[in-house]
Amino acid sequence: MDAFSDLDFVVVVSEDAYPEVLASRTDIARRLGPLLSAFTGEHVGEPRLLICLYGPELLHIDLKFVTMPDLDRLVERPVVLWSRDEAIVEEALDRAEISWPNRDPDWFEARAWIWLHYGAARALRGELFEAIGMLAFFREQVLGPMLHRRAGRPQRGVRRIEAYGLAETRPLAATVARHDVESVKAGLVAATELYLELRADAPPRSAVDGMPQALLRFLGHEAEQAARP
């Protein structure tokens, strides 16, 4: 943790009280401190989550309201700060399957070329903000996780990539584009090249036919390369 960390709390609620607690969770959050704003986490597929901002000083706190059976699968083991019966909670955590949801090579390969083509099509149409957004999405969903995979870490998007040194940061930085069609095209080519390099670490069972050649032709990259002296 550091001065910029969020706080993530898992609130374990008895099943008979759960509907009432879920309906009043914003009131519960408001009683914890000076709540500035809060909303639920449907956008990340987690409606049990209440995302809160407290302040001043500003502090982001996530409150996830669950029941005891929900503790059977977790991405990491939480620390029990308080419980009416700590032994029961600890026993549930001991039985839990705890693992980060890493993606396999086939998951990346099935999506990478479709996402890259989408970004290329938007760039060529002139929808540069949309294409730039797709590059950011591709870093978060594909390149960042694969860089973490290469280093033997959980696939946590692009979180803390900068902390691991220039060897990981520099190739990823090449995929960051300005609001300029040539810059966006260069970012897409850099993303393609980095994906191919990282794919070689753990190849998929079946690579998509015709790639990357078809994508590069679509972008006009091969024609540009041939025209250079």
Q: Is 115 exposed, middle or buried (0-12, 13-18, 19+ CB in 10 A)?
A: middle
Q: How far apart are CA 48 and CA 50, in angstroms?
A: 7
Residues 6+ apart with CB under 8 A from 56: 34
CA distances (Å), origin 202, targets 146, 169, 196, 197: 9, 20, 10, 10
pLDDT at 222: 58
pLDDT at 114: 98
Q: What is the mean pLDDT of each run of 10 residues along the chain (229 residues)?
A: 90 94 95 96 89 96 94 89 90 90 96 98 97 98 95 90 81 95 96 97 96 95 53
Maximum alpha-carbon separation in the chain: 75
Q: How far apart are CA 194 and CA 189, in angstroms?
A: 9
Residues 6+ apart with CB under 8 A from 197: 171
SS3 64: strand
The candidate with the shortest Cα–Cα distance to 185, out of 111, 115, 128, is: 128
pLDDT at 3: 86
pLDDT at 226: 45
- Residue 65 bridge partners (DSSP): 11
CA distances (Å), origin 9, targets 29, 49, 60, 66, 78: 11, 10, 11, 11, 9
**What angle, 0 to 180 degrees and rounded to 10, lies between the N-to-C axes of helices 181-199 and 128-138?**
20
pLDDT at 93: 92
